Amino acid sequence: MRPALRPLLRATVFAGLVLVSACLEGRSEADCGPDALGVSRTLMLTRESPAPYDLLEPGEVILTFDDGPAWHRTGRVLNELSKECTQATFFLQGNRVQPWTGIAKSLREAGHSVGSHSWDHANLAELPLDEAVANAKQGQDAVSRAIGQETPLFRYPFIATTPELTKAIRAEGLIDVTVTVDGADWTGNSPEQAVAQILEMLEQHDRRGMILLHDPFPKSAARTRLLLQSLKSEGYRVVALEQPQG
């Protein structure tokens, strides 16, 4: 792409996401109809909270998305969530959020919670401890600036950590949010395969779980749509994470 076109492209994408956020603001389950998946309850995490999974009852799930933002693809996932009046938590990479701050803001404006996912998705468990912590903090700073508030929510890239790293990350005030159910959409599997795997893993985990998908992929919106439909038909309830202050 020619450099001269990049500002125009970013402005166009940002304008589209602002429009999406404006349409979603103030939306309720009544706007979606009585069959909307919605949100059954909300959890506020603190540094003293148990792991979110331990706070879930059978039949409850928390929806999370990693590796964004990715211009229109994240917006399409946002639209699918809005159709069901439900909420998720997005873990954004610092180096991706920097050029797409409008997308991060649109997530918060639509009522979703936002956390950080390191600066550049390096495997922090393989870095020297000081470099790993610096990478995580750099990512947190970038995401916090983008959404206009400090966010302590954090997810390790590859869900990889060590006891020493976990201790150091928590000492920095970050709240690590893990995964118990992975749709493996990063493998390029189909939406049907990803959702079938999620449903199977939920059954193995007492019908509750922290679900992981990714928003920057070509089929992210289709996976999200199918997942929400399947969760609804299987009688699952969505629990949202309230955005904590850093």
> b/e per residue, 149-173, with b = 16+ CB within 10 A?
eebbbbbbbeeebeeebeebbeeee
What pLDDT is attached to residue 26? 42
Q: Where exactly are the structural domains of the chain? A: 3-242
Alpha-helical segments (H) within the chain: 6-24, 29-32, 71-83, 94-97, 101-109, 129-147, 163-171, 191-204, 220-233
The two tokens of residue 219 are 């089929």
The two tokens of residue 175 are 């709240």
Tens of pLDDT along 37-63?
999 999 999 999 999 999 999 999 999
CA distances from 178 to 15, 191, 201 (A): 33, 22, 15
The two tokens of residue 74 are 């994240």
66 contact partners, CB below 8 Å, separation of at least 6: 90, 91, 117, 155, 212, 213, 214, 215
pLDDT range class, residue 188, cuts 50, 70, 90: confident
Whether 166 has a pLDDT exceeding 80, the answer reads yes
31 contact partners, CB below 8 Å, separation of at least 6: 85
Lowest mean pLDDT segment, chosen from 59-68, 128-137, 222-231, 237-246 = 237-246
The backbone torsions φ and ψ at residue 132, rounded to the nearest 5 degrees and listed phi first, read: -65, -45
Burial status of residue 231 (CB atoms within 10 A of its CB: 0-12, 13-18, 19 or more): buried
52 contact partners, CB below 8 Å, separation of at least 6: 43, 45, 62, 177, 178, 210, 241
Helix (H) / strand (E) containing 63 = strand 60-68
Do 68 and 74 contact (CB within 8 A), yes or no? Answer: yes
CATH superfamily of 3-242: Glycoside hydrolase/deacetylase (3.20.20.370)
Tell me which residue of 220, 230, 174 sits closest to 76, measured CA to CA.
220
Place of tokens 């992975």: 182
Tens of pLDDT along 230-246?
999 999 999 999 998 87
The two tokens of residue 218 are 């070509």
Whether 18 has a pLDDT exceeding 70, the answer reads no
